[in-house]
Amino acid sequence: MSIAAPLLPGATLGVLGGGQLGRMFTLAAKVMGYRVVVLDPDPLSPAGQVADTHLKADYRDAVALLRMGGLCQAVTTEFENVPAESLRTLAKHCRVAPGADALAVAQDRLTEKTRAREHGCETAPFANIETEADLAAAWRAVGGPALLKTRRLGYDGKGQARVDSLDDLAAAFDRLGRVPCLLEGFLPLQREVSVVLARNPADEIAFFPLAENRHRNGILDLSIVPAGVADSVTDAARRMAAGLARGLDYVGVMAVEFFVLAEGRVVFNEMAPRPHNSGHYTLDACATDQFQQQVRALCGLPLGDPRLLSPVVMVNLLGDVWRPEPNWLELLRHAGVQLHLYGKAEARPGRKMGHYNCLAATPEAALALAESTRAALGIGCD
């Protein structure tokens, strides 16, 4: 691995994608003294609002990519569905992290699961389905109950269906548009956790504390830190995540989600080649947050201190609670609550509009604060 000289404050960094992750990266970079260019077609993108330069163009736009490559000394991405070819184009002009090959792995569930196994992760049973002729063999290999997932573009519970029989599988494959899919076996999971780590070009890896994640309707609802798991679970999850990062020669911040089974086994679920919703607690509860760490890794700097300063629970704020506007006083009257809103113009059901972190002296107190404030805002009240 060749290691270029570190990029110091005053350099210009780029981010492909203008959503909330790009916004938080941009703010962290500017606080650290860097200039930021955002490429995103939305003229009202959250990251574009705070960047030094907003290139309002498609991610494949050759002119915009050439301009970004000329303006920036290094470029990263804020979501995994940016075309990998755009990163390859930018890599001809400036430093790019993560690389296009690592990003491409996360864009296809079959490739992702296969590479995870190759690099030491245990996975659930899975089988590839590309045509109707593959259904019976996949069902024999995996059995039910199982989840049928589109291989590409699925997130937050979208692009998947539970199946309990071969007939279910055939109907679900039809509903999902007969696109390439992955059939994945159900596991008797006890809880879900995520490892958020950073790796720089010198192969330095820093782990943030493990988060326990709770979902609602397929979307992350709460992240609880520290996670209530045995040290052996933390060690296994970190070992597998680090093996995957090194195996992919990954540079940047990445999240790896795992299932924890009743007997303590740790099983790979999926990776995110970017900062992650479950790492938002780091903004208020860690010595270095995940976006500062992303800047450091991209710039080839030593990584920051990821230690936890306070127990914390992160609560997602979705557009569902804008009726028409949440009662922010219910949050802000609590000294232990830190609110983060993303600057999105329109609230829609299921859309991530912000989050808040609940800090307290103990994990139990942080969770109690999260639950009471969620109830006050009407979160989870259908």
How large a percentage of the chain has pLDDT more than 70? Answer: 98
Number of compact structural domains in the chain: 3
Residues in the chain: 382
With respect to residue 317, please indicate whether it lies within any of the assigned structural domains.
yes
Secondary structure (3-state) at 65: helix
Question: What's 149's domain CATH number?
Answer: 3.30.1490.20
Residue finishing a domain among 185, 215, 237: 185
For residue 132, pLDDT beyond 80: yes
Residue finishing a domain among 185, 213, 237: 185
> What is the arithmetic mean of pLDDT over 104-127?
95
Q: How far apart are CA 284 and CA 301, in angstroms?
A: 22
Residues 253, 199, 109, 107, CA torsion sign? positive
Instruction: Return the DSSP state at 250.
Output: -
For residue 310, pLDDT beyond 60: yes
Q: pLDDT tier at 1 (50, 70, 90 boundaries)?
A: very low
Residues 86 and 141 in one domain: no
pLDDT single digits (tens) 364-373: 999 999 999 9
Q: pLDDT tier at 69 (50, 70, 90 boundaries)?
A: very high
Q: Higher pLDDT residue, 186 or 287? A: 287
> What is the arithmetic mean of pLDDT over 95-114?
95
> What is the arithmetic mean of pLDDT over 194-223?
96
pTM of the model: 0.94
Question: Which stretches of the chain are assigned E, i.e. beta strand?
Answer: 12-16, 35-39, 53-55, 74-77, 95-96, 126-129, 146-150, 160-163, 181-185, 189-199, 205-207, 211-216, 219-225, 252-261, 266-272, 312-318, 337-341, 352-359
For residue 228, pLDDT beyond 90: yes
Question: What's 225's domain CATH number?
Answer: 3.30.470.20
pLDDT single digits (tens) 337-381: 999 999 998 999 999 999 999 999 999 999 999 999 999 998 875
> What is the arithmetic mean of pLDDT over 138-165?
85
> What is the arithmetic mean of pLDDT over 264-268?
95
For residue 382, pLDDT beyond 70: no
For residue 154, pLDDT beyond 80: no
- Give me 313's structure tokens: 């629970």
How large a percentage of the chain has pLDDT more than 90? Answer: 90
Q: Higher pLDDT residue, 277 or 159? A: 277
Residues 213 and 356 in one domain: yes
Look up the domain containing 346 and give its range.
189-377
- Give me 276's structure tokens: 């992650």
pLDDT single digits (tens) 48-63: 999 999 999 999 999 9
Phi-psi region of 71 (alpha: psi -120 to 50; beta: other; left: phi over 0): alpha
Over the chain, what is the mean pLDDT?
Answer: 94
User: What end-to-end distance do the CA atoms of the chain give, in Å?
Assistant: 52
Residues 30 and 73 in one domain: yes
Secondary structure (3-state) at 139: helix
With respect to residue 286, please indicate whether it lies within any of the assigned structural domains.
yes
- DSSP state letters, 270-320: EEESS--GGGTTHHHHBSS-HHHHHHHHHTTPPP----B-S-EEEEEEEGG
